[in-house]
Amino acid sequence: MTDSPALPDGPWPRLLPGWVWLCGAGPGDPGLLTLHGLNALRQAEVVVYDALVEPAILDWAPGAERLYAGKRGGKPSPKQRDISLRLVELARAGKRVLRLKGGDPFVFGRGGEEAQTLVQHGVPIRIIPGISAGIGGLAYAGIPVTHRDVNQSVTFVTGHDQSGQAPSSLNWQAISDGSQVIVIYMGMKHIARIAAALLDAGRPADEPCAVVTTATTGDQRVLETTLARIERDIDTAGLEPPAVICIGRSVLMRQVLDWQAQAAGEAPRSLDPLGRGRPAESA
């Protein structure tokens, strides 16, 4: 149990009885929680949290009742509607409720659905954004989700739909044609199909890819591979979800920006991985 960190002098919003705050906890590293998130933890009477929320963060709400609402692919988990209705119930019982979700609550986290149900039931809400795994998780792997020499756009994609199937509504040809860099959430289960669809759509077999698992935690692992080899390499490395998968040349930037390896004493593998032959900031 860690002491709850101090909050800078306010004023901070008050979490009133009967309210639900939906808050992103970030991808793992407790330091990536926002100050609004910390303020919420300090006031909450009940914290309803997901599987992907780091336990250390919950320790910052020592007085609060903890309700687990984990949803992990494939395992039995509470139904989304039940979670939303539980939040309504708690609010109606006059609790100060914090709904804590991994990453950002509005990025592939069903936070939008929960918030909608709450509003439909007349429950007042506040949304506290968080650092999403597809941005912050990649940053911890040394991969900038945009870089002027690589991409002016990025596409965030989910690898499976509500039923756990590969999302049939996705037009992989359009995604392939229109996306300089593709970041896939929940992509591990269907990576073979996703990679095949992108290759069919014309993405190069040797396109750089990275798989970052349990990003920003002490167990973070990073695999660098290519589109043609990604499935086999994930298998060989024995990587497990949760993972964010980045497809595109941004992955090459890790050769210069793998700051965790550098902090551990390794030299950068390259200072100019894109072969621009000029200082990064010229022109």
User: Whole-angstrom Cα distance, residue 279 to residue 151?
Assistant: 18
Which of 20, 25, 28, 64 lies at the binding interface for ligand SAH (CB under 6 A)? Answer: 28
Which one-letter amino acid corresponds to residue 50? Answer: D
In the range 253-272, which residues lie near ligand SAH by CB under 6 A?
A: none
> Of residues 208, 241, 248, 273, which one binds ligand SAH by CB under 6 A?
241
Burial of 143 (0-12, 13-18, 19+ CB in 10 A): buried
Which position among 50, 95, 253, 258 bears the catalytic label? 50
* Closest by Cα among 58, 51, 55, 47 to 73: 51
To the query of whether residue 253 is one of the catalytic residues in this protein, the response is no
Taking the complex as a whole, the smallest distance from the CB of residue 92 to ligand SAH amounts, in Å, to 26
Pair 256, 250: CB distance under 8 Å: no
Tell me which H or E stretch contains 174: helix 172-178
Active site residue 50: yes
> Binding to ligand SAH by residue 250, rule CB under 6 A?
no
| Per-residue tokens: 181 | 């860099």
Q: What is residue 56's three-state secondary structure?
A: helix
Size of the site for ligand SAH (CB under 6 A): 24
* Closer Cβ to ligand SAH, 104 or 207, answer by number: 104
What letter represents residue 171's amino acid?
A: N
Shortest gap between Cβ of 243 and ligand SAH (angstroms)?
Answer: 5
x/- string (CB under 6 A) for ligand SAH, residues 49-78?
Answer: ---x--------------------------
Among 133, 138, 157, 230, binds ligand SAH (CB under 6 A): 133
CA-based end-to-end distance of the chain? 50
The set of residues, in sequence order, having a beta carbon less than 8 Å from that of 11 and lying 6+ positions away, is none
Per CB under 6 A, the segment of 62-70, 102-110, 146-154, 247-255 that binds ligand SAH is: 102-110
* Residue from 87, 104, 183, 225 in contact with ligand SAH (CB under 6 A): 104
Element (H, E) at 183: strand 182-185
Residue 274, C-beta contacts closer than 8 angstroms, at least 6 positions apart: 149, 150, 249, 252, 253
Q: Build a one-symbol-per-residue string for 207-236: x at contacts with ligand SAH by CB under 6 A, - elsewhere.
A: -----xxxxx--------------------
115, 138, 143, 186: which one contacts ligand SAH (CB under 6 A)?
186
- Find, among 215, 196, 242, 259, the residue nearest to 50 by Cα: 242
Q: Are 131 and 54 in contact (CB under 8 A)?
A: no
One of 19, 49, 172, 185 touching ligand SAH (CB under 6 A): 185
In the complex, least distance from residue 102 CB atom to ligand SAH, rounded to whole angstroms? 5
| Interacting residues toward ligand SAH by CB under 6 A | 27-28, 52, 101-104, 107-109, 132-133, 137, 185-186, 212-216, 241-244
- Catalytic machinery residues: 50, 71, 186
